[in-house]
A and B are shown apart, each in its own frame.
Chain A
């Protein structure tokens, strides 16, 4: 199977004044051509760090990638030169950030900010052509071309995020990294923006990595889901396997229990008790063990290996003795 993006055994840490923080600890992920992968997890699970590392956008020199490979069409982005990465950024992999309020440059007109992507990556286009495409892009995301000359402060939050989307789509990238694109927006605007993204994804045929802590968003938008916890992927599977399948990782179970929803046939609200572990200490056993209702002695001492059944992968000792779950 040809993966568009494959992340292998990624380890990332931050050095801070308070000591080293281990943000990502051995993440394995893959995104196929044209599919949407949902990356879910609580705040601090390492979702954003993972996404930023793909485009080498981690804050320097605090963050360091200690181990791993990030293969984009079989080319290791971590080993790529700055020049190569720059050519990929915005052109073949684009990214949308969490907070549209601060992600746009307040000093420049929005049209120019969208056009900049084309000016960087489509140098062969003439001035007219770039302006025309920019105007069309703005219209595609539902902003009239007459607002070309507006500054960000003249737009609402939802419209700013649309501008970000227009910017991301400018060069029709093969992969779109969307880091909580709707978290900062009102609920009604959230739905609009997500619908727009779904629609555009189909139209442009690109793959998407949708990062969110909102399982409802994942259920509606993603074909596959990866559940991230304390810098590790605890479970990966199709949306059906995760939401409607018979077996799940205990953490996923807890997450699903945390949303009261009649569709999911879970009658009792059972939020995950406890807090995420201190990221400055690496646990010897399963990262979720301290909060897990099924925690045993083995969970605290031994790191569980990832086991799979078909495409469904789970990292949990509960599945160690089951024959159909292979290492």
Chain B
């Protein structure tokens, strides 16, 4: 299993390379000269030219990408073109906020979304199932930023229970996180309810569940022992997919609530073509996605005997040799 983990860790590299490459290309091939954007339209042609030389903007695209990667490998994320501060330093401030938002959202997704989907499937056609499906359809179809607005009206402006956005000064309390987390997780949790339900339905209808019933197992045992173990495989994959989607969702959430996280930083740096800063943000997101997908793959192998034995056997053979 360790060997498998090591192998997958290597597979992380193309994902990170791919994501950073695509975004680097987007930043490079979209109109707008970074130097001109920073200096403004009143600046002289010479000063813009000087800045372009300083940033080595006239080098070919690939040269600049490779140079950037070289820096990253040596642990140098570069200096923000706009603010002149090291990118790593700025990211260090932003990352905890984004991580908190993402982690709590994922937890909600897993702890609420999956059980609700499974229960809904087990109680198919019941009132509970219908209600849950209706709520899930509504939540997946809602623009979450709009839902956040509505909740702001109710809970922040009318009831004054929760603050409407992050404070500019002063301490951030858990209350500040309630609405952002809700906005971030609502959509994906609802879609997880729907997909977990349909996977569970498929498992419940499968032959081996019928075998378990034919053995005389109680309904609880059939579901909790036989079905649950098998529905874990597709559900784990779903969580991975949803995490990728979540990484897009956090950006919008951060922007709406003024959370000082990686996502809002990404938007502002892409807008101003602050390439080192934008790439730093993307690098972080790419690593997060890579790591979560790695964990998902690992867990998938762990719950699938067919795959697990493939790697265990290898190990045994090596030990014997």
Contacts and interface: CB of A to CB of B under 8 A. Distances in A.
Interface in B205-248: 205-208, 210-219, 221, 226, 229-230
Given A105-B230, A151-B309, A153-B305, A57 B210 contact: yes
Nearest to A102: B207
Contacts, number: 75
Contact of A89 (B205, B206, B215, B226): B215
Contact of B214 (A95, A104, A107, A154): A95
Contact of A90 (B208, B216, B304): B216
Contacts of B29: none
A303 interface: no
Nearest to A171: B216
A97 interface: yes
Given A105-B226, A120-B216, A99 B207 contact: yes
A151 B213 contact: no
Contacts of B221: 120
A94 B229 contact: no
Interface of A is mostly: mixed
Contact of A117 (B125, B208, B216, B305): B216
Given A89-B213, A94-B214, A117-B215, A107 B207 contact: no
Interface residues of A, number: 31
B215 A167 contact: yes
B230 A86 contact: no
A270 B35 CA distance: 88
A126 B221 CA distance: 20
Contact of B213 (A57, A107, A116, A164): A57
A204 interface: no
Nearest to A153: B306
User: Which interface class (under 10, 10 to 19, 20 to 34, 35 or more) fits B?
Assistant: 20 to 34
Interface in B282-319: 303-306, 309
B305 A106 contact: yes
Given A57-B214, A90-B215, A120-B215, A103 B229 contact: no
Interface in B5-23: none
A154 B219 CA distance: 28
B205, B206, B208, B211 pick with most chain A CB within 10 angstroms:
B211
A86, A104, A117 pick with most chain B CB within 10 angstroms:
A86
B210 A97 contact: yes
A120 B218 CA distance: 9
A151 B211 CA distance: 16
Given A61-B125, A153-B305, A108 B214 contact: no
Contacts of B213: 55, 57, 89
A305 to B, nearest CB: 35
A59 interface: yes
Contact of A105 (B208, B218, B303, B306): B208
Given A107-B229, A107-B303, A121-B216, A154 B309 contact: yes
Contacts of A197: none
Given A89-B216, A105-B226, A97 B207 contact: yes
11 contacts: A57-B210, A88-B216, A89-B214, A90-B215, A90-B216, A99-B207, A103-B208, A105-B230, A106-B208, A120-B217, A167-B211
Interface of B: 125, 205-208, 210-219, 221, 226, 229-230, 303-306, 309
